[in-house]
């Protein structure tokens, strides 16, 4: 039980990881929140306590201290580790289906629901009875 709560303490950065310039540190944290921990996968490298996340945080801070922009750092990380490193993938031809799938699924579900509702509340009219069917029905109803 104690181990479950102590995990939060592990993810806190050590003071030697922090940049001395507050603006650069804020930039590094902002970039780190956009990058996925490749070990934890659903945490940013800023929130993760994994050794790989710590290494990636150091790389980000090193690049920030060298004066690189956030865009350049994200581009470099994406080039090196692929689109998966981004917590929120960019919208382009390769990820268009990923971004559009929820909208397409919702639209398909709405069309299906509309079709089922119309079928239930507005049934198709029955075709008229032929002469033979009318005679047979009359025979059944009158008992002849």
Look up the CATH number of the domain holding residue 42.
1.10.8.640
| Torsional class of 67: left (φ above 0), alpha (ψ -120 to 50), beta (otherwise) | left
How many other CB atoms are there within 10 angstroms of residue 45's CB atom?
A: 29
Q: Does residue 123 lie in a domain region?
A: yes
Q: Does residue 66 lie in a domain region?
A: yes
Is there a single domain that holds both residue 104 and residue 80? no
Q: Does residue 90 lie in a domain region?
A: no
**pLDDT above 50 for 11:** no
- What domain range is 57 assigned to? 2-85
Residue 7 pLDDT level (bands cut at 50, 70, 90)? very low
Question: How do residues 36-60 score in pLDDT, each as one tens digit?
Answer: 998 987 899 999 999 999 999 999 9
Is there a single domain that holds both residue 67 and residue 104? no
How many angstroms separate the CA atoms of 118 and 121, rounded?
5
Quote the pTM value. Answer: 0.58
Average pLDDT, the chain: 85
């Amino acid at each position: 039980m104690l181990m479950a709560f102590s995990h939060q303490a592990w993810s806190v950065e050590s003071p030697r990881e922090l940049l001395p310039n507050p603006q650069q540190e804020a930039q590094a944290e902002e970039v780190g929140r956009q990058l996925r921990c490749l070990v934890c996968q659903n945490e940013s490298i800023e929130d993760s306590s994994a050794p790989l996340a710590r290494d990636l945080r150091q790389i980000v801070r090193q690049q920030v201290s060298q004066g690189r922009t956030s865009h350049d750092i994200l581009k470099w990380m994406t080039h090196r580790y692929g689109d998966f490193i981004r917590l929120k993938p960019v919208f382009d031809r390769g990820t268009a289906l990923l971004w559009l799938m929820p909208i397409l699924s919702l639209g398909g579900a709405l069309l299906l629901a509309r079709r089922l509702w119309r079928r239930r509340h507005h049934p198709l009219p029955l075709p008229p009875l032929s002469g033979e069917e009318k005679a047979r029905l009359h025979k059944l109803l009158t008992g002849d």
